Amino acid sequence: MLVLAMLLSFSTQATACVGKVLYIGIANSPTEQLIAEMVAVLVTERTGTSVKIVSFKDAKAVYAAARKGEIGLLIENRDRAFDMIGKPRDNNSRTAQETLRREYQKTLNMVWLDSLGGSPPYAPVLSTDTLSSLPALPKLLNKLSGILTEDAYNKLVKSAKSDEKPKKVARDFLKAKRLI
């Protein structure tokens, strides 16, 4: 019995995410900062993975860092994503999502996840290396897709632009939605 208990405890520890660091890259904007904080708090609280947010001067710098493997996740705006892949913007949310999933995988070797909602739509994008080292991450991040309505998003941005810190705003929102 003792040996079985020890084996089970070791196998549980081996599959946990504790000890890993996930770097999130964002273009320097209050909106992306807020969403990145929301993702960081959710990932840290639910997996034990340490998360560091890295701000860049613009989207091109974010993608350059992703190509070098310096970041494993980025927060992307749907319209800007179409510019990055050199395709015309698609106003149909379903076909736009599918186009971005396909093109990001094919041309950037990245995985486009479900949009987080709000206006304009943002989505987390993972490098394939991050996906292989944290395979449960898409399922966790997709929990955000249904809860961030346009109204909630606008209130959060307003709170984050006032005196409240984005991390506190994100944490309070996730607690209210019972995600942490």
Residues of the chain with pLDDT under 70: 1-19, 119-120
pLDDT on residue 2: 39
pLDDT single digits (tens) 99-140: 999 999 999 999 999 988 775 689 999 999 999 999 999 999
Which long-range contacts link 26-29 to residues 24+ away (Cβ below 8 Å)?
Answer: 26/53, 26/54, 26/55, 26/56, 26/62, 26/74, 26/75, 27/55, 27/56, 27/57, 27/58, 27/59, 27/61, 27/62, 28/55, 28/56, 28/57, 28/58
Contact 24, 53 (CB under 8 A): yes
CA atoms of 49 and 82, how far apart (whole Å): 30
pLDDT at residue 13 in the model: 38
The predicted pLDDT at position 118 comes to 76
pLDDT at site 6? 38
Distance CA 119, CA 76 (A): 12
- Those residues whose C-beta lies under 8 Å from the C-beta of residue 88, and which sit 6 or more positions away, are 82
Query: What three-state secondary structure class fits 124?
Result: strand
Domain boundaries, the chain: 18-176
End-to-end CA separation in angstroms for the chain: 34
CATH topology (fold) of 18-176: D-Maltodextrin-Binding Protein; domain 2 (3.40.190)
Q: Which of 89, 90, 82 is nearest to 59 (CA)?
A: 82
Q: Cα(54)–Cα(178) distance, rounded to whole angstroms?
A: 27
Strand order in the sheet with 73-77: 50-56, 21-27, 73-77, 122-127, 110-112
